[in-house]
Structure 1
């Protein structure tokens, strides 16, 4: 049987829990209509909304890795398990609104508070230091004892990397105690006749801001401040100070003032030196692998973890909350275009190696604007040089960043900088391997569009070696003959040039590397399966045919800190070119993978991927 007050009574309601605000909303609207001067229900609702906004903004800041990476206390990423666990972080806001509503109902004098009384600030501060701080310290230490920790506080500590939402992860009993701690200074001021509306707003919002700051896992204080004013380190805690409590669990129990840990002899000896080291911004950990991605459209820019952590942890879909934000993000797109700085959005660990995703702030359509070509290549080049200077081992290029017309699949950068230590990888070898391994073993003929592209060429040459007839759709005899001559003489007759989709009306295996219209798809016989490497994927016009997805692979089970879905991919799945870079890094290969695909390496890369636990989707 579960311990009392260890679970939320509205936990089973899901999103319907917000209906608990219904009576307050109704009362606020009724009071507003009657012209009531002190609409306390409206104040409670506004205060709850502002508190939620504070947590959201601090969480966004905490996940802005392009700003905070070098000042993070715990370097691990936020994984899907923690994100799901903290999805109901705002339960405590509902609890405290309900308690506030009861207080206003049963204590009528609270409804006639003045707007401002300076004396209340002094009284609340004295009560906070003299009562709330020691009370929280004592209660917090009690929650770290056997029964209380096992039944109540262990949930809070199950989140390994603190985030502002982690502050809300707790049991009802914990948050009832927190209500007492937070309410004592306000109650003291009200009883002494110095309470006010501004005090209620100010104290609660500052309280929440300080909690979020401590849980942000990003050091915001300069060590120089504490060196100039040493006494401050005992009056205000830091994110480093609080994160140590989540690491050690036997020290740094204070609310906001470390002096109470000094009195209780629970101050961690690492607190000040670690804070100095982290606030200097000199992170010692360098990623082994970087995936250089790009934004696809305005909608995908809303999928970043610093915009919505919960949305980014699910495959990208259009959600209602995104629609009103579209104009805002369109303006942000223009600002990003003007700023033109590569930024870090996510990272994860795979077998002790740190993997990061950097993003070139260019949107899909910009890659097809001729005037933008040089600017985009300059940004990619700067990212490669930055990675090289940092000591990154492998940098993998996402789809449009390795476009053949843009930079020859990365050859531009390798030729321009022959002494690069970082290995530049387009990952297309594994992409080809994924597509080829989806083709049934008994297939004797395939129809290939985009046949003279980088991937199309490799697929055609590989299949003809397997004595599979390849109908290559191309209008260029020269490009077809060039590819055909690369095949061995005994295999060349398996490559056949065709100029129309009608030539494949009896072929049920189509490999699509170029967009197909509904009319072109109608040329395929019933029961055809469309394998794809075209971006964006073709539309499923045929109900009597099946359609494959873009080449992708599931990362190994021992991945840690992964909490973001890659575009529309499901959790733990990344595009094959991303996987190709991961394999290149794990294998420790010293060659660049740029330009044309080496057909001899397709099986080698595939076996390496299987060896390291990657699996096809």
Structure 2
């Protein structure tokens, strides 16, 4: 009975049901550190150093995660090409449990030995580094190697190690995703060299920091799924490949499970006869960058605002894997976000945000380094169009089949819904798609069948025009808010003669004070929303969405569709949308690609194509969100 209880304890975390309250377990360490600060012992307190060390360790994992997932830098050196999906993200959500465990162990150790640790601290002792290195090679490496092989025995694997191997794509956070017993083994391998040097009288603060942080960095590097070493280095120094492992070397253990067991040094796999024969060839292939994949479809996105820029996939996985909302804990990081914004403006290069697979074909999301407010600055128009044009030409060059433009990237005033680029480059092989046909279809299919009258703001825009033309054919009275009589008449003349009377020009919001169906294509202030009667539903295709000011009214989200169930590798939410849901213009590009259509979808929306695109979307498994 005792053995079973111990086994269960060491295979799962005792605080797994505490949620975010688990961080209260850092309380004793933080309290001791605060006490040391109040006593003025900032430099010579082990509690202060312990607190700083664990903050740095968390930062190391975050930094490696961000760097590994900056696809604009790393996409050609990715070892396992698959994306990290929501299931893996959720499984690894509490990856930092091992830091809590080690903090508790460190707190208990320092509390026990505190009287022995009051001697003056040595900040640097070079002999300690040499002793720690010798102990690491002589003890930690073989200890971890044999323990790791022990974990792979059938009787132990399912209980203690299968959890770790359940992550299909290694990530720096995967390094922490393991059972308590595994992390106890790792803690022994990590700390014995340090304690050994201290017991020999050669310990130092510098050794503690450097050894533990180097240990974490090497772990994160191996799990980073991005090859960091050039093959030429190993060709010049062949023995080096036995002294330091690589991400590609570790990936073979993660996928095949029966080889490459070492901690950091493949030398011990060589001694134990467990080196995977594909190790060196795979490293050569990945490091060459020739294993890069060309996406079939690209969605060219843009950042909405400075705060939501931290929703990108390579920033915080816990944020990007959920629908965007303002997180107050991120507000102190605004200076960092601002710095990155300025850097992107200076570099002005399109970058890859994330990717996923649909029907076995690679779909990528690229982003233009421009923020929402930038699109409304008159002097920025040419620069933004230049960036979009470069992205289209790059897609054309590498063989992308369809590129779809996000909301502001196909703004009518900016480039005529993409028409500018098609006219400028008539020989494009890549199909340019604004996706607004499906956006219109989604909005139109949201309107209830018993509606007899609607009110449209932004009525003469690309979407407002086609929605009005479609609804008038259904004998629905459409009040089009516009001050331009010429624009209204032009749209009205496009409608069949027998339906033109259903289009009505209005110039004030007061005209819709009895209409409960508003279609918003131009931003509404709270004061303008007051003209809507109680019970009104606001459909909208305006970016950014309007503020949900009226409690007695309902608000629709931006037009969106749920991706088919066979999507793989999707691990980020698209702005405020749910998991697996994308904006309709994004979905419109996907449908364009899946249907194999060879025309560009730019400029004005063809009202005759709305039902065609809608049926095609449903046929391919996309559903209204």
Bucket of the pairwise TM-score, normalised by the shorter protein: over 0.9
Measure, in 1, the Cα distance between the counterparts of 2:521 and 2:161.
Answer: 54
Measure, in 1, the Cα distance between the counterparts of 2:439 and 2:390.
Answer: 26
Measure, in 2, the Cα distance between the counterparts of 1:29 and 1:409.
Answer: 58
Give the C-alpha shift of residue 452 in structure 1.
1.2
* Residue 603 of structure 2: aligned partner: 595
Does residue 461 of the first structure (1) align with residue 469 of the second (2)?
yes
* Residue 99 of structure 1: aligned partner: 105
* Residue 411 of structure 1: aligned partner: 419
Does residue 41 of the first structure (1) align with residue 54 of the second (2)?
no
* Residue 368 of structure 1: aligned partner: 376
Give the C-alpha shift of residue 268 in structure 1.
1.2
Measure, in 2, the Cα distance between the counterparts of 1:507 and 1:170.
Answer: 58
* Residue 443 of structure 1: aligned partner: 451
Q: What are the equivalent positions in structure 2 for 1:168-567 lying under 5 Å apart?
A: 168-567=176-575
Give the C-alpha shift of residue 83 in structure 1.
1.6
Give the C-alpha shift of residue 298 in structure 1.
0.7
3-state SS in 2 of match to 1:325: helix
TM-score, reference length from structure 2: 0.95
Give the C-alpha shift of residue 35 in structure 1.
5.0
Name whichever of 333-342 and 375-384 sits farther off.
333-342
Measure, in 1, the Cα distance between the counterparts of 2:389 and 2:40.
Answer: 63
Pairing partner for 2:576 from 562, 565, 568: 568
Measure, in 1, the Cα distance between the counterparts of 2:395 and 2:279.
Answer: 32
* Residue 157 of structure 1: aligned partner: 165
**Contact 2:304–2:544 (Cα < 8 Å) also in 1:** no
**CA-atom RMSD in angstroms:** 1.7
Residues 60-102 of structure 1: CA distance to partner in whole angstroms, max 9, x if unpaired?
1111111111111011111122222222111111211222233
**Contact 2:303–2:372 (Cα < 8 Å) also in 1:** yes
**Contact 2:460–2:488 (Cα < 8 Å) also in 1:** yes
Give the C-alpha shift of residue 474 in structure 1.
1.8
Give the C-alpha shift of residue 110 in structure 1.
4.8
Measure, in 2, the Cα distance between the counterparts of 1:421 and 1:83.
Answer: 37
TM-score, reference length from structure 1: 0.97
Pairing partner for 2:79 from 69, 73, 76: 73
Pairing partner for 2:133 from 116, 125, 145: 125
Residues 392-424 of structure 1: CA distance to partner in whole angstroms, max 9, x if unpaired?
011000111101111110011111111111110
3-state SS in 1 of match to 2:365: strand
**Contact 1:104–1:111 (Cα < 8 Å) also in 2:** no
3-state SS in 1 of match to 2:295: coil
Measure, in 2, the Cα distance between the counterparts of 1:445 and 1:54.
Answer: 58
| Distance of aligned partners of 1:502 and 1:29 in 2 relative to their CA distance in 1, 3 Å threshold | closer
Does residue 53 of the first structure (1) align with residue 59 of the second (2)?
yes
| Distance of aligned partners of 1:192 and 1:369 in 2 relative to their CA distance in 1, 3 Å threshold | same
Name whichever of 102-111 and 286-295 sits farther off.
102-111
* Residue 583 of structure 1: aligned partner: 591
Residues 517-540 of structure 1: CA distance to partner in whole angstroms, max 9, x if unpaired?
344333333322221112222233
* Residue 6 of structure 1: aligned partner: 11
Does residue 20 of the first structure (1) align with residue 25 of the second (2)?
yes
Give the C-alpha shift of residue 208 in structure 1.
0.8
3-state SS in 2 of match to 1:298: coil
| Distance of aligned partners of 1:441 and 1:29 in 2 relative to their CA distance in 1, 3 Å threshold | closer
Measure, in 2, the Cα distance between the counterparts of 1:290 and 1:400.
Answer: 16
**Contact 1:435–1:551 (Cα < 8 Å) also in 2:** yes
Measure, in 2, the Cα distance between the counterparts of 1:293 and 1:83.
Answer: 23
Name whichever of 188-197 and 131-140 sits farther off.
188-197
| Distance of aligned partners of 1:139 and 1:110 in 2 relative to their CA distance in 1, 3 Å threshold | farther
Gaps of 5+ in 2: none
Residues 179-236 of structure 1: CA distance to partner in whole angstroms, max 9, x if unpaired?
1111222232233332222222221111111111101111110100001111101110
Measure, in 1, the Cα distance between the counterparts of 2:45 and 2:293.
Answer: 53
**Contact 1:40–1:111 (Cα < 8 Å) also in 2:** no
Measure, in 2, the Cα distance between the counterparts of 1:24 and 1:264.
Answer: 41
**Contact 1:529–1:545 (Cα < 8 Å) also in 2:** yes
3-state SS in 1 of match to 2:448: coil
3-state SS in 2 of match to 1:418: coil
Measure, in 2, the Cα distance between the counterparts of 1:77 and 1:209.
Answer: 22
3-state SS in 2 of match to 1:114: coil
| Distance of aligned partners of 1:263 and 1:111 in 2 relative to their CA distance in 1, 3 Å threshold | farther
3-state SS in 2 of match to 1:548: strand
| Distance of aligned partners of 1:168 and 1:435 in 2 relative to their CA distance in 1, 3 Å threshold | same
Measure, in 1, the Cα distance between the counterparts of 2:140 and 2:526.
Answer: 69
3-state SS in 2 of match to 1:362: strand
Give the C-alpha shift of residue 344 in structure 1.
0.5
Name whichever of 500-509 and 477-486 sits farther off.
500-509
Give the C-alpha shift of residue 590 in structure 1.
1.1
Measure, in 1, the Cα distance between the counterparts of 2:140 and 2:465.
Answer: 71
3-state SS in 2 of match to 1:549: strand
Give the C-alpha shift of residue 306 in structure 1.
1.8
Residues 519-565 of structure 1: CA distance to partner in whole angstroms, max 9, x if unpaired?
43333333222211122222333332222121111112221111111
